[in-house]
Structure 1
Amino acid sequence: MISMTTPPTNPLFANPLFANPLFARLDSAERILVAGAGGGFDIYAGLPVALSLLHQGKDVRLANLSFSALEGLPVDAWLAPDVAVITPETSLHQTYFPERTLAQWLELHHYPSTVHAFARVGVQPLRAAYRALIERYDIDAVVLVDGGTDILMRGDESGLGTPEEDLTSVAALAGIDVPERLVVSIGFGIDAHHGVSHGLVLENIAALERDGAFLGAFSVPRTTREGALFVEAVAHAQKHTPDHPSIVNGSIAAAVRGAFGDVHFTSRTRGSELFINPLMSLCFAFELEGLARNCAYLDRIEHTHLMRQVSSAIELFREEISRRPPRRIPH
């Protein structure tokens, strides 16, 4: 037993309780990249952190693994192969374009309004694209954000959700030397409709804690400036993408607003039972290196160039292993 007078020797005790470990790790960083890991609207899930860093005076760049048809962009939109610079005026003839929609919202609020879009590629080209972006802006910290909990799956769970893009992003950044590489997962419980057992998610977080990679959790209250702006940004995105609004961010925003239970905000969820709850507004933070170390199949996707190669590698890995059954959360 450790007495109250025992001086701490573990360096993890360096931060007092009132200092958030995620932001403490980013305190000395000057140029930070906040990136959506899983495609679609994932970069919106990173807005609370990104806006908080901007409000602290940090130089913050935004990026997202994109599901949009980036091949239709003009030549001058490309910063490097597989990474494009998206502004409010970027021309792409489709209504589903989360990166441009976010850029337009940022411009409305007088924030830096550039959002970078990564092509949906395998680990090797995505790493090259990340490296080009990091070198262009001299980035000294990366925060990779997942809307949901797919990014926390080790590979042996009963259901993985849709981890291909998330873990491709993790693997790409695991091979780049940046002073700080962190991961944030927000939206606990959302991935249940994709077969994720959140009892196993909690088991994985406990393992990451034992490994020294878990940096704690914090909520995004609507009474904060960042929380209110996040809710507004999601509403703006839903208005401008009426045919395909983000279920993940809509759920998180509903939780931030205090909604609870089977609350629907889009016809896309018709016929399913939702469980909107306060845990969805929690941000769980991790060291990327530890998260990568705990993914059992990351070496299998290391040399991929196409996303379908990532999917195939994960499927093959899953055929070779025994899987942990779902773990029920007592109630």
Structure 2
Amino acid sequence: MTTTSALEPPLLTRLLAAERILVAGAGGGHDVYAGLPLALALRAAGREVHLANLSFTHHYGLDGTAWEAPHLARITPDTRSAETGFPERSLARWLRARQLPDTVWAFASVGVKPLRAAYRTLVRRLGVDAILLVDFGDARFTERTGDSALFINPLMTLYFGTTVEALAAHHLYLDRLEGTTTTREIASAIADFREELPRLRPARAFPH
């Protein structure tokens, strides 16, 4: 049983109890970068840490040897791609420049069913015993905050942790996402759920 300390956040206590950890960006963008400080700290503490990211990059031009499994690519500093915006390769090159393990795994932007299969493949391949999913608040547009409705929360700079089980227990349409194979199906399932909710106030776009 893992015990916690007032001097150590429960998140770190649980992660330090593992030997092999996968730190994965979960939002479809640059989220893995937000997990990098924790990943480096865990590696410095003697843990084997692997990096992955749910990618927004089109993977059609990747070399065939990069594909480990359907919707799962092994990205290195030398991976060729026609994409100019390629967060996983940029991170791999940053890691190599610092003489750190430089593989970053990329998950294709797909529905829940194929993404879950890709995760299972990677977990088996790496033998990880803990997964840390990271999704960070987007504060990149701060130059637009002046005289605008853009919402930038200072809490975006902090880590908040919860378990997947706790999130799933409060998820109201998880069963609708279970069998999706594309992101379009995910968007449709969410839209259908929202349409069924009572209209308590007019819908308003969240400023971002």
Same fold (TM over 0.5): yes
Structure 1 CA distance, aligned partners of 2:88 and 2:40? 16
Letter in 2 for 1:279: L
Size of the alignment, in residue pairs? 202
Instruction: Go from structure 1 to structure 2 and tell me whether the alpha carbon gap of 1:270 and 1:23 turns closer, same or farther (over 3 Å shift).
Output: same
Instruction: Go from structure 1 to structure 2 and tell me whether the alpha carbon gap of 1:118 and 1:273 turns closer, same or farther (over 3 Å shift).
Output: same
Work out which of the residue numbers 33, 51, 74 in structure 2 matches 1:44. 33
Q: TM-score, normalised by structure 1?
A: 0.57
Instruction: Go from structure 1 to structure 2 and tell me whether the alpha carbon gap of 1:271 and 1:104 turns closer, same or farther (over 3 Å shift).
Output: farther
1:288 corresponds to 2:164: yes
Post-superposition Cα deviations, 1:143-182, rounded to whole Å, max 9, x if no partner, equal 000012xxxxxxxxxxxxxxxxxxxxxxxxxxxxxxxxxx
Instruction: Go from structure 1 to structure 2 and tell me whether the alpha carbon gap of 1:310 and 1:278 turns closer, same or farther (over 3 Å shift).
Output: closer
Work out which of the residue numbers 39, 44, 47 in structure 2 matches 1:55. 44
Letter in 2 for 1:320: E
Report the Cα offset of residue 41 of structure 1: 0.6
Report the Cα offset of residue 300 of structure 1: 0.7
Post-superposition Cα deviations, 1:49-88, rounded to whole Å, max 9, x if no partner, equal 1111111111111111111111211111011111000001
For 1:106, the equivalent position in structure 2 comes to 95
1:79 corresponds to 2:52: no
For 1:303, the equivalent position in structure 2 comes to 179
For 1:123, the equivalent position in structure 2 comes to 112
8 Å CA contact 2:62–2:80 kept in 1: the answer is yes
Post-superposition Cα deviations, 1:106-154, rounded to whole Å, max 9, x if no partner, equal 1111211111100111111001100000000101000000012xxxxxx
Structure 2 CA distance, aligned partners of 1:35 and 1:54? 15
Give the match's secondary structure for 2:50. strand
8 Å CA contact 1:103–1:114 kept in 2: the answer is yes
Letter in 2 for 1:300: R
**Percent of aligned pairs sharing the same letter:** 53
Report the Cα offset of residue 15 of structure 1: 1.8
Letter in 2 for 1:113: D
8 Å CA contact 1:85–1:116 kept in 2: the answer is yes
Mark the runs of 5 or more structure 2 residues left unpaired by the alignment: 204-208
Matches within 5 A, 1:1-331: 14-148=3-137, 248=138, 250=140, 263-264=142-143, 272=148, 274=150, 278-322=154-198
Select the structure that is richer in helix: 1
Report the Cα offset of residue 250 of structure 1: 3.8
For 1:219, the equivalent position in structure 2 comes to none
Letter in 1 for 2:168: A
Q: TM-score, normalised by structure 2?
A: 0.89
Structure 1 CA distance, aligned partners of 2:129 and 2:90? 27
Structure 1 CA distance, aligned partners of 2:178 and 2:22? 22
Instruction: Go from structure 1 to structure 2 and tell me whether the alpha carbon gap of 1:275 and 1:322 turns closer, same or farther (over 3 Å shift).
Output: closer
8 Å CA contact 1:44–1:249 kept in 2: the answer is no
Structure 2 CA distance, aligned partners of 1:35 and 1:91? 22
Give the match's secondary structure for 1:35. strand
Report the Cα offset of residue 271 of structure 1: 7.9
Instruction: Go from structure 1 to structure 2 and tell me whether the alpha carbon gap of 1:278 and 1:289 turns closer, same or farther (over 3 Å shift).
Output: same
8 Å CA contact 1:40–1:67 kept in 2: the answer is yes
Report the Cα offset of residue 323 of structure 1: 6.1
RMSD: 2.3
8 Å CA contact 2:74–2:105 kept in 1: the answer is yes
Mark the runs of 5 or more structure 1 residues left unpaired by the alignment: 1-10, 149-247, 252-262, 327-331
For 2:206, the equivalent position in structure 1 comes to none
Structure 2 CA distance, aligned partners of 1:89 and 1:291? 37
